[in-house]
Structure 1
Amino acid sequence: MALSLGACQSPARQDAYKVVGSSNSFMAPTVSGARNYTPAGEKDAPNSNVAYPDPETPIYYDRPLSESILSAIELGNYSRALQVSGYDRLLQMAGPYTVFAIPNEPMKHVSEQYPGGLLDPANAQALKNLMGFTIVPGKWSVDRLRRVIARMQTHAVGLRTLSGALLTVSVEPGTNQLVLSNAAGTINRIWVTGIPQSNGVLYFTQSALPPVFPALPVAGQSQVALGVKSAPLAAPASTTH
């Protein structure tokens, strides 16, 4: 069993303009652009100066999660899903929160598994569950996670997400890397680790990990997982922080 931990959050809005500015930033990778970009042909108009396949985008340490996620090209689909689910407003608050954001390719794969797409109003509950499973109350840096995990006999820690489902973080034997898993044991690897933010910490994952909820207290009721299968990135970047 993994130890379940929570944290206290502040409902106050995170006013980025009151944060002392700095030039400290992380250049977030982009891989989805190369899959969608088609160079101009001989008879086409010249390529735009900004139409490059894989532009990196800066994520500044002193900005709130809501701004950083919105500005990251590789989190475009995730950012839109946050807005539709309503969680984007929460990430404007002081928190703190730790976000395990899903890149474009896995988010696209998730959406394709639902009639009308995941953002369709008919799939609102599934969207809410999935997005809530990517957000954990508290500021969980890599160092803090490793310290807590080192004290556990199971070498794992369970973090209570906003969906209510437990997200387990453990150290993978052999690689010594932090990995995520749900209650069914499905693994999700971390792509970009622990970018500090003014109201929390931001990670990029390699897959979309479905939340798994405890069985309903009804006779004969089987365990229900309102989510989707994990879809790893075809070519994960090696960039970490």
Structure 2
Amino acid sequence: MNFKKLFSLTLLALSISLSSVANVTNPENDKKIKKETSEEKTIVGVAASNDNFTTLVAAVKAAGLVDVLNSKGPFTVFAPVNDAFAKLPEGTVGTLLKPENKKLLTAILTYHVVAGEFKAKDVVKAITDNNGIFVIKTVQGGQLTASLKDGKVILTDVKGNTSTVVLTDVAASNGVIHAIDSVVMPQ
């Protein structure tokens, strides 16, 4: 399985899983209630259970990255929320979801995925330990630059576009998801 595809899928899953999920199977009987935490679900499962990541999940499926992002990991996914995809020029998402654009979609998605698990405190520490910037190598092979602005982690892609981390440390069985407010783009 392609490492790039694995990271892309992980990123998509991260975007989808910005919040913890509780699944109550039988609310009338406390003894039979099963609460499913995000730690029991993979990145894809967490994202798929969150309405903020429907676009990301659709993209992960179109790119064929579901199996990769369901694999052992661990991964850190900087997951764009639906509103992040909505900021793209009109028609972009529809075009990317077409089968003939699978390679480009995979590159974009894997650009949001990092090998290893990096919780928010780890990212902030790396930024402060490195004079205010932390260069992150993505599964896609490109780099994102993390910095702090007004107490928030900002990601800058290779084209100079920025995205703000809006939710951190959404746990999954194979990594962690941080929701971001804009889609970052590789070279």
Please list every run of at least 4 consecutive aligned residues from structure 1 whose deviation after the TM superposition is greater than 3 angstroms: 108-116
Q: Relative contact order (alpha carbons < 8 A, sep ≥ 6): 1 or 2 greater?
A: 2
Task: Provide the C-alpha distance between the structure 2 equivalents of 1:204 and 1:61, rounded to a whole number of angstroms.
Answer: 17
Q: Secondary structure at the match of 2:40?
A: coil
Task: Provide Cα deviations, 1:21-41, integer angstroms capped at 9, x if missing partner.
Answer: xxxx7369xxxxxxxxxxxxx
Report if aligned partners of 2:168, 2:177 keep a CA contact under 8 Å in 1: yes
Secondary structure (helix, strand or coil) at the match of 1:208 reads: coil
Q: Which runs of 5+ in 2 are unaligned?
A: 1-18, 23-35
Q: Report percent identity of matched pairs.
A: 24
* Greater share of residues in helix: 2
* Matched-pair contact (CA < 8 Å) for 2:143–2:158: yes
Distance in 1 separating the partners of 2:77 and 2:145: 14
5 Å-filtered alignment, 1:54-203, equals 60-110=38-88, 112-114=90-92, 117-153=95-131, 155-172=132-149, 175-203=150-178
TM-score by length of 2: 0.75
In structure 2, do the counterparts of structure 1 residues 108 and 118 end up closer, same or farther at CA, with 3 Å as the change threshold?
farther
Q: Distance in 1 between matches of 2:94 and 2:58?
A: 16
- Corresponding residue pairs, total: 156
Per the normalisation by structure 1, the TM-score is 0.59
Contact 1:133 1:161 in 2 (8 A): yes
Q: Which structure has the larger Rg?
A: 1
Q: Is there any run of 5+ residues in structure 1 with no aligned partner, and where?
A: 1-24, 29-57, 213-241
Partner of 2:170, secondary structure, is strand
Aligned to 2:33: none
Taking only aligned residues, the RMSD between alpha carbons, in angstroms, comes to 2.3
